[in-house]
Amino acid sequence: MKRDIIVIGGGASGLAAAISAKKEEKDVLLIEREDRLGGILNQCIHNGFGLEVFKEEYTGPEYAYIYIKEFNELKIDYLIETTVIKLVRVKDEFILYTSSLKKGIQKYIAKSVIISTGCYERTRGSIIIPGDRPTGVITAGSAQRYLNIDGYMVGKRVFILGSGDIGLIMARRMYLEGAEVLGVAELMPYSNGLTRNIVQCLNDFDIPLYLSHTVTRINSDENNRLKSIVLQKVNNKFKPIEGTEKIFEVDTLLLSIGLIPDIVLLDSLDVEYDKLTKSVRVNQALETKVEGLFVAGNALQVHDLADNVSKESERAGYNAAKYVDNPKREHKMIKLLPGENISYISPQYIDFAWPDSDIICSFRSKSKIERGLIEVRQGENTILSKRRMYIVPAEMETFSLKIDALNNTQDITINLEAIK
């Protein structure tokens, strides 16, 4: 079964990529492991989606429905309840092996593949919280699924560790469902969620936010159920400060301690990994080192907004279609390097084999900056100098470059300077 393009993942990213590629008149197949399209959007019943793309506000399922409707109108082929278990490249083609209950193991061949597999949550094991291992400790995303899709209330006295957006949203959600939310703790001296979520989810409901705090112990009762947690303030080296212990009696601890791109399928391919994004390195077309392999959405970098996931993935779908039209390209690449106050930059390369591709760059700052100057330099030349107000690590920043303004011999450095 041969296709022009196969998209792996049927969430916001996969839907947008498939639609974009189909509009370029390509034979597209989308593969989704869940029993329906929409991905994580199906459990995000809060509003706040669509403001960037549609200039209107929708809930997650409504936002997904708009894309699914267009997806179906374009008559794009798709498989659900199907997992891609292996992805390899043989000569100029990709071979995918899938597994499903109905069809068993199947083989598909594609000229190009788009990875839109999203991300997964970090668990307790990744931060090694001391103490017992009781029931009642659960990731915020899992709790969201139990509550919003399955209809199960996970607890009545809740504390949340980590101030990522999903943790903030679940603080509000649990409060509205009748739980007592005792607080949200964040290891860093600033929140890792959007400012609007801090205001709408915590401030509006008088839920306290403990910055520079972390959970240092988990205690269970005789039934191995969560009984209490110990919260401590940390110093500037993130070490607990003695004498600052607070004990909270809770039956549920929700973890919102970060997201990691889900790119395990790429382990069998000769891709180049980026330790800063915890994903792979790509050029401005969102193409990896492996020609014809594109990565977009949260599989590439963890986004703040689903709208930005959709926009990025539309570019991936378009560029994958252009690759199918012209797979043979002479590559000439320069690097995009994170400089002062820049946590990471994406894309990591500019490839002059893609002269028609917009260079849309995204980055996160290392610290909070009230007034900032973004400076893009190539050698001694300043390519871009732009002022921005209120830059925080929790919110992704973007800027665009014109390929005509660049030379193909020198790497580019992006700096962020605090100005008065």
Domain that holds residue 250: 123-257
Please give the pLDDT value at position 284.
96
Verify that 101 and 133 share a domain, yes or no.
Answer: no
Verify that 139 and 253 share a domain, yes or no.
Answer: yes
CATH number at residue 204: 3.50.50.60
Verify that 305 and 157 share a domain, yes or no.
Answer: no
Q: Which of 292, 313, 328 is the last residue of a domain?
A: 328
Verify that 338 and 418 share a domain, yes or no.
Answer: yes
State the amino acid at position 229 in one-letter form.
I
Alpha carbons 215 and 92: distance in angstroms, whole number: 51
Please give the pLDDT value at position 355.
81
Verify that 263 and 117 share a domain, yes or no.
Answer: yes
Please give the pLDDT value at position 5.
98
Q: Which two tokens stand for residue 398?
A: 């973007």
Q: What angle do CA 376, 377, 381 make, to 5 degrees?
A: 130
Q: Detail the DSSP E strand segments found in 162-205.
A: 180-186
Q: Which of 257, 279, 299 is the last residue of a domain?
A: 257
For residue range 63-108, list pLDDT tens digits in order.
999 999 999 999 999 999 999 999 999 999 999 999 999 999 999 9
Low-confidence ranges of the chain (pLDDT < 70): 357
Verify that 298 and 368 share a domain, yes or no.
Answer: no
Sign, Cα dihedral of 285, 288, 292, 298:
negative
Verify that 168 and 252 share a domain, yes or no.
Answer: yes
Asked if the bond preceding 347 is cis, omega within 30° of 0, the reply is yes
Instruction: List the one residue out of 121, 398, 97 whose CA is nearest residue 262.
Output: 121
Instruction: List the one residue out of 351, 259, 309 whose CA is nearest residue 114.
Output: 309
Check: CB of residue 190 under 8 Å from CB of residue 394: yes
Verify that 312 and 207 share a domain, yes or no.
Answer: no
CATH number at residue 383: 2.60.40
Verify that 1 and 105 share a domain, yes or no.
Answer: yes
Instruction: List the one residue out of 341, 339, 395, 345 whose CA is nearest residue 366.
Output: 341
Q: Which of 195, 223, 257 is the last residue of a domain?
A: 257
Please give the pLDDT value at position 1.
83
Check: CB of residue 319 under 8 Å from CB of residue 357: yes
Verify that 231 and 170 share a domain, yes or no.
Answer: yes
Distances (CA, A) of 325 to 28, 288, 320, 329, 391: 14, 18, 9, 11, 40
Verify that 55 and 102 share a domain, yes or no.
Answer: yes
Start-to-end Cα distance in the chain: 60
Alpha carbons 92 and 111: distance in angstroms, whole number: 7
For residue range 147-156, list pLDDT tens digits in order.
999 999 999 9
Alpha carbons 73 and 245: distance in angstroms, whole number: 58
SS3 294: strand
Alpha carbons 167 and 164: distance in angstroms, whole number: 5
Q: Based on the structure, what is the number of domains in the chain?
A: 3
Verify that 167 and 217 share a domain, yes or no.
Answer: yes
The residues with which 213 forms a beta bridge, in sequence order, are 233
